[in-house]
Amino acid sequence: MSENALNLYLKCVIIMTIIDIILDAMERRILFKTIEIIEVGLRDGLQREKTPIATSDKITMIHQLVDAGIRALQVTSFVHPKTVPQMADAEAVCLGIEKKEGIIYSGLVLNMKGLERAYDAGLRHVDMSLSASDSHSRKNANQSLREALDGFAAMVKKARELGLSVRAGVQCAFGYYEADVTQEIVLDIVKSQLDLGIDSLALADSTGMANPRQIKTMLHAIKPLIGETPLILHLHDTRGMGLANVVAAIETGCTRFDTAFGGMGGCNFIPEALGNIATEDTVNMLHDMGYETGIDIAKVAQVSRTLQTIIGQELPGKMYQLLGQ
């Protein structure tokens, strides 16, 4: 190669590298302006609700939430109907949805049977999680953390064979009442889940005990492990720190959050935990802060008001009430 040709080649490489860096920075800026909301109201939001909600009402709410701009929803969970009667119609809900292109409809599965039920009901995205608290794991899944980890690996393998995408999660990642959760335990679970080749990872503050500083510390610790795997934060507002935790997470680079319309929600085995952060409240704050979600809050609030009428009581969310006045 002549000296001129070599110079030209080197110049091209330098220019290409600079363009690459600029494009990467632009992409990060664009991505960072957009916050992704995953609506979990149909699952987490309803699982503890005693008033039976008709399958047709659930399906209508799913359609309305998609119409409001929601792009990813947990539509049900495949648990034993005796454990969570509200989810007894999981198959009927999934089969009744008019699925739209580009929308992620997922279901929570707790065991192999649930996984197969989700697949047979036509879902192609499943959420499965482990509890970082051994004590909660024994109550929630009737298994020790160690046993649950083994079962989890088998479930991911099976989901892969069925061609399903897997969102893995860590419940009680920020603490449980028996104080048996440490950051080290959470990081170990995250590592083992990532090793299984999951598609995304959700950290859940199932009890609503996390504070903003703790959120930042945990997310900084997870960053080097997680690489490009999408990270989702699942927050409960038990102590009123939900939205403060969202801001702390965004400042640490997290751009995906689970929310529930009207702020409904709570684990059946954590009676003290209150609802999820409300979709309307979270989206309202994000829009006010200049972030984009693609969600029409007024339309989501309408769904919350419908649910309020069905169950005959006020929901915990704030914005849906303000928007209804």
Site residues for Zn ion per CB under 5 A: 44
* C-alpha to C-alpha distances, 293 to 33, 36, 104, 282, nearest whole angstrom: 9, 6, 15, 10
User: Which residue lies nearer to Zn ion by CB, 114 or 323?
Assistant: 114
Q: Cβ of residue 47: shortest distance to Zn ion, in angstroms?
A: 9
User: Which residue lies nearer to Zn ion by CB, 77 or 293?
Assistant: 77
Q: Which long-range contacts (CB under 8 A, 24 or more apart) does 305-313 make?
A: 306/57, 306/60, 306/61, 306/64, 307/53, 307/61, 307/261, 307/262, 307/264, 308/262, 310/51, 310/53, 310/57, 311/49, 311/51, 311/53, 312/51
Q: Cβ of residue 171: shortest distance to Zn ion, in angstroms?
A: 8
User: Which residue lies nearer to Zn ion by CB, 87 or 323?
Assistant: 87
Instruction: List, in sequence order, every residue forming a beta bridge with 157; answer none if it has no partner.
Output: none
Catalytic residue among 94, 172, 254, 267: 267
User: Which residue lies nearer to Zn ion by CB, 119 or 257?
Assistant: 257
Q: Cβ of residue 7: shortest distance to Zn ion, in angstroms?
A: 60
Report helix, strand or coil for 238. coil
Instruction: Report the residue number whose CB is nearest to Zn ion.
Output: 44
Instruction: List, in sequence order, every residue forming a beta bridge with 256; answer none if it has no partner.
Output: 36
CA 149, 133, 197, 168 dihedral sign is: positive
Contact 83, 268 (CB under 8 A): yes
Report helix, strand or coil for 117. helix
**Would you call 94 a catalytic residue per the annotation?**
no
Size of the chain in residues: 325
How far apart, in whole angstroms, are the C-alpha atoms of residue 143 and residue 171?
Answer: 14
Identity (one letter) of the amino acid at 215?
Answer: I
Q: Cβ of residue 25: shortest distance to Zn ion, in angstroms?
A: 35
Q: Cβ of residue 205: shortest distance to Zn ion, in angstroms?
A: 8
User: Which residue lies nearer to Zn ion by CB, 60 or 268?
Assistant: 268
Q: Would you name the residues annotated as active-site residues?
A: 267
